[in-house]
Amino acid sequence: MSKDNENNCIKKIICRCEEITKEEIREAIREGHITIKTIKIRTRAGMGLCQGRTCSTLIRDIISEMTGIKKKDVLPDTIRFPLYPVELNVLGKK
Ligand code: FES
């Protein structure tokens, strides 16, 4: 990667919900966080409204790019079932 491209990456937002930049993700990887879960704990990327549905793929790609781990071998975050909104009158019925 050329120096100009690397400088452009510094301000590139990876997690829009938590406003985490690519450089913050790269810094976490340099510190040894090489799973999506540990990067989430370190940076908060993936803790926003979409719960990582948008950014986890990008984070996986960055981990793969920096460490050489194949994308399919990067450990994912804990997968949780989707929750659906429930109206309060449903919960309050007797
Ligand atoms: S984009 Fe990262 S949690 Fe939504």
- What ligand 1 atom has the least distance to the C-alpha of 51? 3
52 CB within 6 A, ligand 1: yes
Using alpha carbons, list the distances in angstroms from residue 6 to 26, 42, 52.
Answer: 11, 22, 24
50 CB within 6 A, ligand 1: yes
* pTM score, whole prediction: 0.74
Per-residue pLDDT at 83 exceeds 90: no
Dihedral sign from CA coordinates of 58, 4, 21, 23: positive
- What ligand 1 atom has the least distance to the C-alpha of 56? 2
> Which residues touch 60 (CB under 8 Å, ≥6 apart)?
36, 71, 74, 76
Q: How much is the pLDDT for 39?
A: 96
**All domains of the chain in start order, with CATH:** 3-92 (1.10.10.1100)
CA of 70 to the centre of ligand 1 (A): 22
Q: How much is the pLDDT for 56?
A: 94
CA distance 91 to 31: 45
pLDDT tens per residue across span 46-56: 999 988 989 99
Mean pLDDT highest for which of 2-6, 44-48, 90-94? 44-48
CA distance 5 to 71: 22
19 CB within 6 A, ligand 1: no
CA of 40 to the centre of ligand 1 (A): 10
- State the DSSP code for 21: E
User: Which two three-digit tokens encode residue 39?
Assistant: 């990067």
